[in-house]
Amino acid sequence: MQLAHPTTDQIELANVLTALGDSTRLAIAAELARQQDGPVACSHFLMFASKTNLSYHLAKLREAGVTRTEVSGTSRFTTLRRSDLEQRFPGLLDSVLAAAKETLPPQDAGGRVETAGA
């Protein structure tokens, strides 16, 4: 099974900004940027949303060209399309992620989002 991804030339600024304008999708992109070991299983992001909502957010990021998702059996693995975004919009991703550090919720040592009262 292959999922549709825009080519580098098809990535549009408005779609990228719309995708990253959502706090959940921005948190997912920031988490992907922190992960340097390669593709991340989609279940890794359950700290940000329920399984159903997560599927929606990951699809929006993929459709905008922010991420690439590969299917392997029943699993899906996601990577940040950093080089494609850098080629298309130099400096944009790093600027957005740097600004996001101030607005994203903190994470504990295990990578889980810390919530008030927890």
CA distance 82 to 94: 9
Give residue 105's pLDDT: 58
Give residue 114's pLDDT: 46
* pTM for the structure as a whole: 0.83
CA distance 65 to 23: 17
Of 74 and 89, the one with more pLDDT = 89
Q: What is the mean pLDDT of residues 42-71?
A: 93
List the domains of the chain with CATH numbers.
8-100 (1.10.10.10)
CA distance 38 to 89: 22
Query: What percentage of the chain has pLDDT greater than the value 90?
Result: 63
User: For residue 117, is pLDDT > 60?
Assistant: no
**108 falls in which pLDDT band (50, 70, 90)?**
very low
